[in-house]
Structure 1
Amino acid sequence: MSPLLKIRSERDHMSAIERRIADFLLDNAHLLRDYSSQQLASALGISQSSVVKFSQKLGFKGYPDLKYSVGESLARGDGNDDNGAPAASESPHPHAALAESLWRAKAEAEEETRLINPPEKIDAIADAIRGAQKVFVIGLGMDGIQARAFAMKLSLLGILAVHHFDPVLMPAAVSTTAGDDVLLVFSEHGRQSSLCQVARLFHERHGKVVTVTRHTANPLRAHADLSLLVSAHDERAHIEPLLYQAALQQLLDLIFQLLCEDEGRLQQLSINLELMHPMLDT
């Protein structure tokens, strides 16, 4: 039986923490190669020993053994096996082919994006955010959705994140910039002159500019101290934005995960989430 099928079949008999690990592995099996046991534990807010015990309970020597087995299973294309799993349908639903094609395209975009953003660059951006007094975040249109979501995550970690959606009002905020402040500019194509002007003004105040764009030559990147680059290409106009968003989300999640390695930030996240729960239940 493949490891993913084993996890799926035993999930209902697992403890709450084990189910959290199981669900993460099932939903993110293709990304598992990028996670150490400590990173997986941090992403789920649990102890590293819980990850190790989960692996051993499934019959593996430890987490590396489980990760290797999952990778081999994916390489073989083991969605199901012959040990109690449903047989493949002779006429699979068209949705299955669409889902498989989209999944593979996203996985390729995420891998290409990871390769063009070396670890030292990711670490430098995480360090800049970690050491900033204020983190200004701006994005226009669809870029604003990702910008707002990331600013919210930073706030949950206790980082002073100031989200803006109007570049006309941004110069007033920039006037309060200190030397260790960071500006995160989200712009898929990096061509908006207003954002270039905001970045230039931020530089004049000696702040650090981090741009988030496609892996193309664009005016905005010329103003960046550090840049996050996304590689996501497809001839189909309705698919390419999906690949961009998926690859970008993976990058942002990685930076968020690095920030969570600070024990103080992780505690602040737990406190803020607890404060939010009563409001979500009303």
Structure 2
Amino acid sequence: MNTDQNAKNTTLTAILAEISQVLSHIPEDDLEITAKRLEQAPRIFVIGEGRSGLMARAFAMRLMHLGAVSYVIGETITPAIAEGDVLVAISGSGRTHHVVWTAEKAKAQGVYVQAITTNPDGELAKTADAALIIPAATKFRREGEAPSIQPLGSLFDQSAHLVFDAICLKYAEAKQVSQKTAFQKHSNLES
């Protein structure tokens, strides 16, 4: 192995250690409760901005593969949200204006709001019915956040992606969705 390869492995090892440290602080019960709420929802909507928004989109896509009716806020085919629906709102800082505003508006419609954030004291967590706290570094590097060698909110976004995958796994188990069934929902218009 050459020196460049060793440096890459050291970097990857450091990133994995950061993610592992963050995820070790998330109670299994929080994942169970979130998955159970989603299992009961007639429709699931997601919102996030920037990279966190990309994690939300990936979550909505996987939920669709698992048979959920899921939508991304802001897409042209997203219908009106209604009482009984669930909104999953993600913001590392817990103060992203459009995400918080959307959560407030959804609450006014009788929608259950599930926050995904690092900040239990942020506007998003205070607005939401429930907040799943991911104690990772954000771009603001607030006091008490996990340290990170990575730029901006990379650690939060990576951790959120894995949290969403864990929730999907619990959702699939509860709904008894097999790999074969999920694959049948996967896009068939690609090579």
Question: TM-score normalised to the size of structure 2?
Answer: 0.80
Instruction: Give the SS at the match of 1:184.
Output: strand
- Asked if 1:268 is matched to 2:181, the reply is yes
- The number of residues matched between the two structures is 180
Higher helix share: 1
- Asked if 1:248 is matched to 2:157, the reply is no
Checking the alignment, whether the CA contact within 8 Å between 2:86 and 2:112 is kept in structure 1 is yes
Checking the alignment, whether the CA contact within 8 Å between 1:139 and 1:147 is kept in structure 2 is yes
1:196 deviation in Å? 1.9
1:71 corresponding residue in structure 2:
none
Amino acid at match of 1:206: G
Checking the alignment, whether the CA contact within 8 Å between 1:136 and 1:162 is kept in structure 2 is yes
- Asked if 1:155 is matched to 2:64, the reply is yes
Higher relative contact order (CA 8 A, sep 6+): 2
Instruction: Give the SS at the match of 2:177.
Output: helix
1:195 corresponding residue in structure 2:
99
1:222 corresponding residue in structure 2:
126
In 2, Cα distance between equivalents of 1:127 and 1:226: 13
1:120 deviation in Å? 1.5
1:242 deviation in Å? 3.1
1:178 corresponding residue in structure 2:
83
Checking the alignment, whether the CA contact within 8 Å between 1:110 and 1:250 is kept in structure 2 is no
Change (3 A) 1:207 1:189: same
Instruction: Give the SS at the match of 1:188.
Output: coil
Checking the alignment, whether the CA contact within 8 Å between 1:110 and 1:246 is kept in structure 2 is no
- Asked if 1:258 is matched to 2:163, the reply is no
In 2, Cα distance between equivalents of 1:119 and 1:236: 26
Checking the alignment, whether the CA contact within 8 Å between 2:45 and 2:73 is kept in structure 1 is yes
1:248 deviation in Å? 1.6
In 1, Cα distance between equivalents of 2:73 and 2:88: 10
Amino acid at match of 1:160: V
Instruction: Give the SS at the match of 1:265.
Output: coil
Structure 2: gaps spanning 5 or more residues: 138-146
Checking the alignment, whether the CA contact within 8 Å between 2:43 and 2:68 is kept in structure 1 is yes
Checking the alignment, whether the CA contact within 8 Å between 1:106 and 1:243 is kept in structure 2 is no
In 1, Cα distance between equivalents of 2:158 and 2:108: 33
Question: TM-score normalised to the size of structure 1?
Answer: 0.56
In 2, Cα distance between equivalents of 1:216 and 1:99: 34
Percent identity over paired residues: 23
In 2, Cα distance between equivalents of 1:263 and 1:269: 11
Checking the alignment, whether the CA contact within 8 Å between 1:231 and 1:247 is kept in structure 2 is no
- Asked if 1:114 is matched to 2:18, the reply is no
Query: Considering only CA atoms, is the larger Rg found in Structure 1 or Structure 2?
Result: 1
- Asked if 1:103 is matched to 2:13, the reply is yes
Instruction: Give the SS at the match of 2:71.
Output: strand
Instruction: Give the SS at the match of 1:260.
Output: helix
In 2, Cα distance between equivalents of 1:109 and 1:215: 17
1:158 deviation in Å? 1.2
Runs of 4+ residues over 4 Å off in structure 1: none
Structure 1: gaps spanning 5 or more residues: 1-88
Change (3 A) 1:207 1:269: same
Change (3 A) 1:271 1:262: farther
Checking the alignment, whether the CA contact within 8 Å between 2:114 and 2:132 is kept in structure 1 is yes
